[in-house]
Amino acid sequence: MNAMDVTDSDFQTAVIDRSYEVPVVVDFWAEWCGPCRQLGPVIEKAVAARAGKIELAKVDVDGSPGISRSFGIQSIPAVKAFRDGQVAAEFVGVQPPLMVERFLDGLVPSEADGLIEAGDEASLRRAVELEPTRAEAIVPLARMLHERGELDQALELLQRTPGSFAADGLAARIGIERAGQPDLAAAWSALDAGDREQALDILLGALPTADGAKDDIRRVVVGILDELGVDDPLARESRRRLASALY
């Protein structure tokens, strides 16, 4: 597909709305801009090589001052990539072809991304083969193994992604379950049923008398909070309770 010439009047439809279906890269340029003429063909060739996985729009800043002001364009060439209606990545100035290739590659879902989205066991196993430390594939696959009682296999997987709080939390849960105490069966049942609020309430309530299991419970709680996200009201309240129980 050739680059689209987009103006103030059709930017919403051609770029913002379209970016919900496919990433759209916008090249802000002007006829008088020499560096723009250098960069333009590089981007066009790289986008064309991706055969419809990315679309390219060109905005003449002189002809579309409204859009240029809206996105704070102060120097050209300026390139902004839109995905799901938002700016997902950007750069300013002429860049070498390799950098442009990497920029575009970051916008296109990888094979592992698609497999993770599918979410079945075979897909997750293939995603782990492709990206052996990818937490988004490892954690759900380890959960499946845990549910089947294949605990050693689950732990082996979880050890591959030490930076993941979710993985660390699941590993800590397995450790508590194997030890047999404290008895947190009610918390696990709530967590497996998707009732994170109930699970957190039980886990946090168990901390004061948990003795040697305190750190493992803390790790489980932190894993749940990480999945909730920093802005979740339950996560904010639970972090406060966790700090109070520990310190």
Contacts of 13 (CB under 8 A, 6+ apart): none
- List the catalytic residue out of 24, 33, 78, 222: 33
- List the catalytic residue out of 26, 36, 59, 242: 36
What span, in angstroms and rounded, lies between the C-alpha atoms of 82 and 110?
17
User: Is residue 33 among the annotated active site residues?
Assistant: yes
User: Is residue 24 among the annotated active site residues?
Assistant: no
| Strand-pair partners of 57 | 4, 26
What span, in angstroms and rounded, lies between the C-alpha atoms of 149 and 147?
5
Contacts of 66 (CB under 8 A, 6+ apart): 8
Catalytic (active-site) positions:
33, 36
